[in-house]
Every structure is written in structure tokens, then in C-alpha cells.
A and B are shown apart, each in its own frame.
Chain A
């Protein structure tokens, strides 16, 4: 069963690609956020780590069969600060997925809490298993 597929393979999930420049001319980085996807009786649930993204910076779209999430990261470290040790870079998050028809696009529901996005992808009613009564002959 393929309700959802990532349009890039998992080993690419932490690759980083440059984003178009913003208005101030500073190039911004773009990251693929790490995700979890698991199955529930009602469908699928997707989690994505988007540290630094608040609800105003999040853009979640379903167009045709593609679910796209984009998170703009805001940071308030002053420009004058001197970097002593760096393990991560500041950049925005982008990832998209192909949804199958088994996902009920109308009932997709999302919530962003503490930098983690949770998206509920309910299975369309017709895709739920239906018991067929067999009458004796």
C-alpha cells in the first residue's frame, strides 16, 4: 500500500540545497527536515522536525497530489555576535510528498508545537476495509 511517498529518497533527507536569495540579498539555505511517518487505524500521521519555525512561518499546501511543507526559520541572534562553535546552519525547511488517492485530502489536519509539525492524513472512507457479509446458499 502506498498512501504517501517522499519524492526524494531517505538518504537525501538531510541534504541541504541553496534557496533563492531573499530580499536583502543574503542567500538562505534550504534543508530537508527529518520526518517520521506511521500508520494508525484512521490513516497516516506525519511528523517533521522544524526547529525555529513558528506557525506564521509555516506554509503547508496540498496541490494536486502533492503535499508541500515549507518553514521559514527566524532567529534573533544579533549580527554582532561572534560564532565560537557551529554545528548547525540557519536555513529554511522544505519537503514535499506525493499522496495517493487513498488519503482524504479534504480532511488533512496539521498542528505545529514546539517546532514539530504533526500532519494527520486520514484514509478516505472508500479505502477503509469493509466487511462483506456472505450469505449461505
Chain B
């Protein structure tokens, strides 16, 4: 059974489809899904022993257009992704990439040390590292004896 069927029976790329099918024969189909209605950018959040790490796929951003802020344990990233300046509106044959202003807010599960924030942008992936705040030391409360 063909694994993929793209297009109509008259599709000129049938040979390619067959080739891809052939190449994929014997590949264990463990994961098969479709990413629809994507938010931009998509983010992942990880927890390490002493920090949280947020990664976001934001390809093609000038870092001067990238804004990362934190307030009340809520991390906000925002910016704008512009279409290529030389492309006119009617010049597009296909437009699948996101263009325009975007913003994401991510609530962090724990208190963080706002001085230990670090953000890096590399190959279109933003990575924000947030140090957890040292857990508050137990405080003794003096009990006063009543009169």
C-alpha cells in the first residue's frame, strides 16, 4: 500500500511519489501527525534542577526586533516578522510562512531569580534560561505567650 498519495492521478510527480514510497518502505511508522493551526512562534518549556529553559522557533528575526521581558513570573516574548522588502503583494506564488507582529506570554510555574535571566538567539531559535529563585528558607515565628 502506498504510504503517501500526493495530488491527483494525472499528477506529473507520480514517479517521485513512487520513489518516496519505495524509500520509505520498511521505515517503522511510529509517529505520524500533522501540525495544523500553528501559533507563532511555537515554544517548548523545560525544567532543569536549578533553572527553566524556554525555546522558541522564531526563524528570520533581527534581534533588534526581539523583545523579551519578565514580570510577575510571566515571560513575554514579542516581535515582528516582516515579509521580504522587495516582494510586492501580488508577486507571491506561495505564502506559507508567518509574517506580521507576534507575541507569546508564558506563565512560569515557580518563582525565578530575575537577575539570572539569559537569552540567546541562534539559527532562528530563541533560548531563554531562567534561574529558579532559591527556595525561601523556613522562617521561625516567635510565639508569644499570652498574658
Known contacts A36-B96, A45-B84, A85 near B124 by CB under 8 Å? no
A88 touches B57 (CB 8 A): yes
A residues 58-88 touching B (CB-CB < 8 Å):
66, 74-75, 77-78, 80-88
**For residue B16, which residues in chain A have a CB less than 8 angstroms away from its CB?**
7, 66, 96, 98
Interface string of A19-48 (1 = CB under 8 A from B): 110000001010100111111100011010
Tell me the count of chain A residues lying within 8 A, CB to CB, of chain B: 55
**For residue B123, which residues in chain A have a CB less than 8 angstroms away from its CB?**
51-54, 74, 114-115
**For residue B98, which residues in chain A have a CB less than 8 angstroms away from its CB?**
34
**Cα A78 to Cα B51 with chains together (Å):** 12
A37 touches B57 (CB 8 A): no
B residues 42-85 touching A (CB-CB < 8 Å):
42-49, 52-53, 55, 57-62, 83-84
Stretch at the interface among B86-94, B111-119, B135-143: B86-94
Q: Which A residues have a C-beta under 8 Å from some C-beta of B? A: 4-10, 12-20, 27, 29, 31, 34-40, 44-45, 47, 49-54, 66, 74-75, 77-78, 80-88, 96, 98, 113-116
